[in-house]
Amino acid sequence: MIVDSAFYRDGVRGPGPEGLDALAAAARAGEGIAWIGLYRPTEAEFSGVAAAFGLHGLVVEDAVHAHQRPKLERYGDTLFCVLRSARYIDESETVEFGELHVFAGPGFVITARQDDACDLGGVRTGLEARPEILARGPVAILHAIMDRVVDDYSPVVAGLENDIDEIEDEVFGGSPSVSRRIYELSREVIAFHRASKPLAAMLEPLVGDPSIGDEERRYLRDVQDHALRVLEQVDEFRQLLQNILNVNLTLETKALSEASIAQNDQVKRISAWAAILFAPTLIGTVYGMNFDHMPELHWRAGYPMAIAMMMATSVTLFLIFKRRDWI
């Protein structure tokens, strides 16, 4: 459950008290900062940590149950933050989401990961290399974690942007499968929008908190600016995909109309030639019945007259259809 536990004095990692209770007591006494990293804790496992650091009972329930919405809440002197990390998978053109819970209180930070999407090992290593930042307190660690989550959004934005560019080429290239790809990418963009949208609003009360120092407020405002930039880009992606979908629908409708018109032209040509060939057949059928009492059966001019009628009818129909552009 506990993947890393450290105690920092003046921003430098060193030996800390043994046991959660002793670690929590030293942290609350101002001897240093305790940072405990948890991975998929069960309710029973997390209850021990919560009891040692005096976390609210509602926090325990939220921490062990994944699928929480991004939020920032204050329980007494402890901040509880839920973040949604994101990672772009180029092979499947999907966005993989993770969930991270952060508790920042007087002298301690507790992080609980529900998956592998956001590894905080790099954040911890980076902060340990800069003890002056760690020495500023738990809010500095919370800022570093938020900054990492927001920075990880950049490859996702780049991947989605590249996919949209490819889709634009496919739309005007007449790809038959582009509609499905537009729909699937729209679904990924909407999910990414849900994960990233609350972050900027979450930071607003934290930036305005009078208990936060000016230096930390500047860093938090920088993270908020990055989050707003990501949100603007995602909103643009949603609008752009909607426009692409409309254009694709227009092009598909146009293609279907052109195909229907071409098919109608073929039907008209076939119908015209069928009518032209039907008229001589009708005349020939009448004169081929060979009844003894037909008026023109023994008429000397009957044969040339029948041929003339066939030709005249066929030529007349041909000229009529030609004039109407059926042939």
The tens digit of pLDDT for each residue in 260-277 reads 767 777 777 888 778 777
Q: pLDDT band for 75, please (50, 70, 90 cuts).
A: confident
Domain range for 295 is 255-323
d(CA 296, CA 287): 8
CB-CB contact of 98 with 88 (8 Å):
no
CA atoms of 57 and 128, how far apart (whole Å): 31
The answer to the question of residue 195 being in a domain is no
Beta bridge partners of 83: 100
Percent of the chain with pLDDT over 70: 92
Q: Report pLDDT for 188.
A: 92
Look at residue 250 and tell me if it is in a domain: no
With pLDDT > 90 as the criterion, what percentage of the chain qualifies?
22
How far is residue 282 CA from its own chain's centroid? 66
Q: Where does a domain end: 104, 124, 144?
A: 124
Q: Is residue 190 part of a domain?
A: no
Euclidean distance between the first and the last CA atom of the chain, given in angstroms as a whole number: 81
Residue found by looking up tokens 């989050």 in the block: 227
Residue 316 lies in a domain: yes
What's residue 35's pLDDT?
92
Nearest-angstrom CA–CA distance, 102 and 143 = 11
CA torsion through residues 124, 126, 129, 131, sign: negative
Q: What are the structure tokens assigned to 310, written together? A: 């066939």
**pLDDT confidence of residue 290:** 62
Q: What pLDDT, in 10s, does the model give residues 114-129?
A: 777 777 888 989 999 9
Write down the mean pLDDT value for the chain: 84
End position of a domain, from candidates 124, 149, 164: 124
Pick the range with the lowest mean pLDDT from 117-131, 179-193, 285-299.
Answer: 285-299
Phi-psi region of 56 (alpha: psi -120 to 50; beta: other; left: phi over 0): beta
Give the pLDDT confidence of 79-126 residue by residue, as tens digits. Answer: 889 999 999 988 888 899 988 999 999 999 999 887 777 778 889 899
Residue 98 per-residue DSSP state: E
At 13, phi and psi to the nearest 5? -70, 135
pLDDT score recorded for residue 286:
67
Q: Which amino acid is at 79?
A: L
d(CA 127, CA 133): 7
Question: What's the CATH number where 290 sits?
Answer: 1.20.58.340
What does DSSP assign to residue 222? H
Distances in Å between the Cα of 183 and the Cα atoms of 88, 242, 314 are 17, 9, 55
Q: Which residues pair with 211 in a beta bridge?
A: none
CA 114 to CA 96: how far, in whole Å? 13
Q: What is the pLDDT of residues 137-169, one digit of tens each?
A: 898 999 999 999 999 999 999 999 999 988 888
Confidence (pLDDT) at 253: 73
**pLDDT on residue 309:** 78
Total number of domains in the chain: 2
Which of 124, 139, 164 delimits the end of a domain? 124
Residue 322 CA neighbour count, 13 Å, CB half: 7
Show the tokens assigned to 62: 């939220």
**pTM to 2 decimal places:** 0.74
Q: What region does 41 belong to: left with phi over 0, alpha with psi -120 to 50, or beta? A: beta
Q: Are 103 and 84 in contact (CB under 8 A)?
A: no
Is 110 among the domain residues? yes
Instruction: Tell me if 82 sits within 8 A of 100, measured CB to CB.
Output: yes
d(CA 201, CA 180): 33
Residue 36 lies in a domain: yes
Cβ pair 72, 206 in contact under 8 A: yes
The reported pLDDT for the residue numbered 298 is 65
pLDDT at 293 over 70: no
The strand ranges marked E within 33-70 are 33-39
**Partners of 297 in the β-ladder:** none
In a domain, residue 311? The reply is: yes
- Strands 71-75, 108-113: parallel, antiparallel or unpaired by DSSP? unpaired
* pLDDT, position 278: 77
Q: What integer pLDDT is reported at residue 102 of this predicted model?
A: 92
Residue 166 domain-assigned (yes or no): no
Contact 74, 143 (CB under 8 A): no
CA max distance for the chain:
131
